[in-house]
Each structure stands twice: as structure tokens, then as C-alpha cells.
Structure 1
Amino acid sequence: MSTIAMKQARLVNGLTLPYAEAGYPGGVPVVFVHGLGESWASFEQVLRRLPTTLHGWAPTQRGHRDASRPDDGYRPEDFAADLVSFLDAAGIGRAVLVGASSGGVAARMVAGSHPDRVAGLVLCGVPATLEGKPGVAELGERIALLRDPLDQEAVEPFVSGLTVRPVAVEFLDRLREDAVHTPAGVWQQGFRGLLETDLPATLGGILVPTMVLWGDRDTFVPRADQEQQVKAVHGSRLVVYEGTGHCVHWEEPGRVTADLAGFAADLGLTPS
């Protein structure tokens, strides 16, 4: 198992983002981008499994857990700008970006706007759009009702409600703690930012190699979204995880790690 080191990055905008670093120092750079209400720990199980061919970084995004908490700036474009600034602060010239759920929106925005910084893009359960999805209105209602201080009952639907396969209790407990320590205002501003963003437009201009991972029992993001992303990004491919829910990296971390390593190898990316 790979050792995880915890560090902090000071961004040019003054924000401080904690981040986890794991894998082989000379490995292909991979940066993981978590979703709303999470932290770097969303990818802990993947980070611990990184092979010697990969070098991973997983920042905690603004407003979440122990990251800086500005009063505003929780739109996808804000998270995307932070991601580019993080690459600079961590000294990462070019990396494979792995975005999960809403984190994939920021990742693909960076892939489209800064192709020189992105060697490849991996999207895990990422929505192409939020329009017309029956679960979106219900999710919005739940988020609108959140009030500080949050408790585990309030955030439970955002954790256990996303999985199908059994997941370690200790890992789910960590995810609950991350959700509880994300202020209600961050949840609400982040979700509103997604609703107000033209998500299909964020698929434009992506020219980097792309792999889309999706669990076929994902009740929030349907297969049609994944096919829309594959159609929009030339040369991309869809990998379906049968019997898996929304967060494939929680339920199948070993397979996600293997698919990621294979993706990097297929791109001709090799350790330095």
C-alpha cells in the first residue's frame, strides 16, 4: 500500500488547500478532484493503491473540511481556477486529472481551457447536465434545508445513499465527517453554482485523451450523460462498472486504480 503524506498548498489568491500526496515521486502526475461536501479523503482508497508508475495529489477544495473558507466563490469556474493554481503551487507542470461527480466539472473545464497542463482526463460519475434529472430537485431541497452546525443525520443521504456495493464502515464514517465539516453555505452555494452553469458547454474544447468511468446502478447520473460526454470529446471512451453506484472510486478503488494506470500507460506516459 502506498504511503500518504499530508501537506498544504498556498494558492496565488491567498487560499490554503490541504492535500494528500502518494505514490512514486517519479511517477506520472495524477491530480484527483473530489465532489461537493467531500475532501481529499474521497480518494484515499485509490491513493493507497497507487502503483509505482503513478504519483498522486488530492487537494481538498475551498470551503471543504480544513481548506480556506472564503464567503463566496463556489461556482465550478472558481474551483477550476483553484485547480490550475494548485498545479502551480505544487510544482506540477502537466498531469492526468481525475474528477469525481461535481469535481469532474471543474476538471473538464481545466482540460478545455488549459490543455497544456492536462495530459489526460478521467471522469467518474460526472453529469453532462443537471436538467431533466428527477433526483436533482430532491437533492436541491435537501441541501436547501441544511443548517449549521450539521449533524450526521442531515448529511447521511449524501454518503450512504450514493453506494450500492458494501463499503468499509471506517471509510464511510470519514466521508460523513467530511460532509459534516463542510458548512451549509458551501453546500448551498456549490450546488447553486452547478445549477447556474451551462454544464454541456463545459464539454466544449476538450482535446485531451479522456476516459469516462460509470457505475451502471448510478441513480443520479444516467448512462445517457456518459454517452453525451463521450460523443462530445473526440476519441474518448466509456468504461462501465456493472453493479456499482455513483461513486465508483469508493466501491471499486482497486479497479479504478488499475484502469487509471492502464489509461496512463496507453497514453505513453511513463515514470521519469
Structure 2
Amino acid sequence: MPFDRINGIALHHRVDGPAGAPTIVLINSLGTDYRIWDAVVPQLAGRYRVIRYDKRGHGLSAVPPAPYRMEDHSADLLALLDHYGVGQALVVGLSIGGQIAFGLAAIDQNRLAGLVLMDTAHKIGDAAGWNGRIEAIETGGIAAIAEQILSRWFTPAFRSVGNPAFEGYSNMLANTPAEGYLGSCAALRDADHTETARNLEVRTLCIVGDQDGSTPPDLVEACADLIVGARFEVVEGAGHLPCIEQPDTTARLLGDFADEIFGKGATA
């Protein structure tokens, strides 16, 4: 369970896979920690080095005072790559993770061997919506928005009362530090990577769950349309977090794309 001071804050992170292999970085969504990738990592770590981390304000990482800027999150990612001596990585960003990856591209596209934008977009929501969410949490805590968020995250089938995984991920959301959640809401409110997407010169795959209620397929496809040469894939039977509901399909898409980027048999 490694902790290091990355970009001035204590960041919780983990590495799986061969040390000399090409690197894949998995960035989790708002209100989650890096465990959302648990079922995907074993299918990638045999041939790739996989780095995960709890972004600032989430999981076991430090919780600086809100608000945050997306540039803060992206600087954390860049510092984490430097910490591991990674010159280039295939970066997979889920939801806010995609915005963080866009931010890295805005700093230095050369650090991206490839990019996977999962259930995300160049701009997510508007100021009124994010301000309303911030106000609701300031008044009633994350519990005030939990039911609405969970209905967007997961398909009706997954939200079954008898599904212990649904209960567990509901607890993950509820246990997210409110300050960290609020800080990242502000970052999402203020971020617009439309021009970054238009100027991207990195091989890109856009993925979305067919029942995503947070960043619906048409929004993710519109993002893909901004990026020259981007590919668009829909994962059936998944909401906002395909890595949880459809981990095998997600791992296959990521693994196949990584093989295209790095070449099969890329393990050093």
C-alpha cells in the first residue's frame, strides 16, 4: 500500500505487472477510489505495468482544502509519472479521469503513448448543475445526492437490493471525503477541454456504457468526433462504470488497444 508525497501531497497509489513493461495508467471517477479497477487489472498486468492511484481528495490520498482546479489533478498525474520514471503511458481516464488526462495532454501530449477516454467528455455538465450539486452537499453531505448519482452510475439490474457489490460501491461513494468531492466538483465545473480535444494528436479510444446516465453515449460520441481519428465503442449492459459492471469487456477493449499502441508481446 504505497504512499508517497507526489506534487506536494500524500498520494495513495499502486503498481501491478512487470517493472520493465509498457505502462498503463488507470484514473478513477468522481466519488470512487482505485479499487473500481480491481477486476480489470489482473487481465492487463500479465503484460503491462499498471499504475492506479487515488486522486487528491479521494480514497486514502490527502484531502487539500476545496476548491480544486483540473490543473491540480493533472499536475498530480504528471508528477506520478515522473515518480515512476515513465516517459510515456497509455492513460485511461474514467469520468473526471478523462478530464485529468485531457489536462495532461494540454501540458505535454508527448507523455501520452495513447489515450482512452471512458464515460467522459471534453466538457461535463454546466456551472449551474455543478453549483447545485456543491450546494446540496454543503447542506446535506454526499448522502443528499447519493441516490441520484448511483442511478446514473449503474444499470437497474446492478442496483438490485440483493447485490452486495452495489451496496459496497454505494458505501465507497458515501465514504468519499466531502471536501475532496466538493473540490473536484469545482474542478469539473470550471474545466472545458474542447480545444484540447480538437488539437489532440494522440491515438484515442472513446468508450461508454450503453446505459450511462452521467455522460450518455451521445455526449461521449460527440467528444470522439472532436478528436482526429478517435475510435468510439459502446459497452452493452453497463452504466457509468463499465470497469465494474462489465470488467471482461472493458479489459478486452483496453488490452487490445494497448496491444495496438505498444505492439503485442510488448513486455520487456
* TM beyond 0.5: yes
State the distance in 2 between where 1:227 and 1:82 align. 28
Say whether residues 1:271 and 2:264 are aligned partners: no
Q: 1:221 aligns with which of 187, 203, 215?
A: 215
1:35 alignment partner in structure 2:
29
Q: C-alpha separation between the residues in 2 aligned to 1:125 and 1:70?
A: 26
Match of 1:236 in 2: 230
Q: CA deviation at 1:237?
A: 0.2
Q: How much has 1:173 moved relative to structure 2?
A: 4.1
Q: Deviations over 1:123-161 (max 9, x none)?
A: 11003323579xx83x75344222599576753443454
* CA distance in structure 2 between the aligned counterparts of 1:169 and 1:24, rounded to whole angstroms: 34
Q: Distance in 2 between matches of 1:121 and 1:182?
A: 27
Which amino acid letter does the alignment assign opposite residue 85 of structure 1? A
Taking the aligned partners of 2:194 and 2:108, their CA distance within structure 1 comes to 18
Q: How far apart are residue 179 of structure 1 and its match? A: 2.4
Match of 2:135 among 144, 151, 158: 144
Aligned to 1:7: 2
**Of 39, 46, 50, the match for 1:52:** 46
Q: State how 1:51-130 maps to structure 2 within 5 Å.
A: 51-72=45-66, 74-130=68-124
Q: Which piece of structure 1 moves more, 227-236 or 140-149? A: 140-149
Q: Secondary structure of 2:114's match? A: strand
Taking a change above 3 Å as real, the CA distance of residues 149 and 43 of structure 1, as seen in their structure-2 partners, is farther
The aligned residue for residue 189 of structure 2 is 195
Equivalent residues of 1:210, 1:235 under 8 A apart? yes
2:137/2:144 contact within 8 Å kept: no
Unaligned runs of 5+ in 2: none
Which amino acid in 2 is paired with 1:106? Answer: I
Q: What displacement does 1:104 show?
A: 0.7
RMSD: 2.7
Query: TM-score, structure 1 length as denominator?
Result: 0.85
Task: State the percentage of identical aligned residues.
Answer: 27
Cα deviation, residue 51, structure 1: 4.7
Q: Deviation per CA, 1:28-86, whole angstroms, max 9, x where unpaired?
A: 21001111111111212212332522221111011112111211452211101110001
Partner of 1:185: 179
Rounded to whole Å, the distance in 2 between the matches of 1:132 and 1:181 is 25
